[in-house]
Copies of this chain bind each other. A is one copy, B any other.
């Protein structure tokens, strides 16, 4: 099953990602409606014609007629929404999401849905430092990864449908991962990197550093200007996986610290050789 021009698509939550989804789908000629509780956001979305229909209310008819609903909300708000309005969703509807953690929500959502409504979890690995609909941009999906994260409850049909959504949005690579694989991987690749950048910025209070910095520090700390509400939630929602990855990383850091302390140049060089070899695989993918 593929995404079809006859589908009635509803996006719940018009932030950076929801807004970018709406723009990408409208650009491709799909019919898109959207709900956001913030009136300024709704006003902006209407003015900029980001979707065909935009409302700040949960309208029964709108929910009922939609056969693909995309939730672009913080994880706990998503769970609360389903608890309150899940019964309004029609039989046969597929729902998906954009949240960065899965273990804490996927099975909970799946267990709450009415019969005949299927939730297939997805994670678009794209973003910007600055959130909000004003920064929404469908081009952020180009070159990015789209992760489909099914459980045993999901049908092959919904997995294919979700993949076709990722393709339509313009993602360059689409992968299927289990919930556990996803949360471990995201803990390592995304959350740990944000922990590192934040720690590095907190380690030194010298305001003059920015006068002397080179590109390496700038690149490493770009993500240190961080939305603390969203990210603190993501960290705690994926706590076990994140603590595990933080410990693994700290072991490697401590190993390097030991080699430097003991003047063990071969130890340092061996770590650098492993690091270089692994990083070169990423370079190839970038070309």
Contacts and interface: CB of A to CB of B under 8 A. Distances in A.
Interface of A: 125-127, 144-145, 147, 173, 175, 177, 185, 188-190, 192-207, 209-214, 216-226, 228-229, 231-233, 235-236, 239, 242-243, 245-246, 248-257, 260-261, 263, 265, 268-269, 271-276, 278-286
Contacts of A260: 235-236, 239, 242-243, 246
16 contacts: A125-B213, A145-B212, A145-B213, A175-B212, A185-B206, A193-B220, A198-B271, A204-B245, A207-B281, A218-B286, A219-B220, A228-B269, A232-B269, A236-B268, A243-B261, A250-B257
Give the secondary structure class of A's interface. helix
B224 A279 contact: yes
A214 B232 contact: no
A239 B211 contact: no
B239 A217 contact: no
Contacts of A207: 278, 281
B275 A212 contact: no
Most B CB within 10 A of own CB, among A192, A209, A213, A271: A213
Nearest to A282: B210
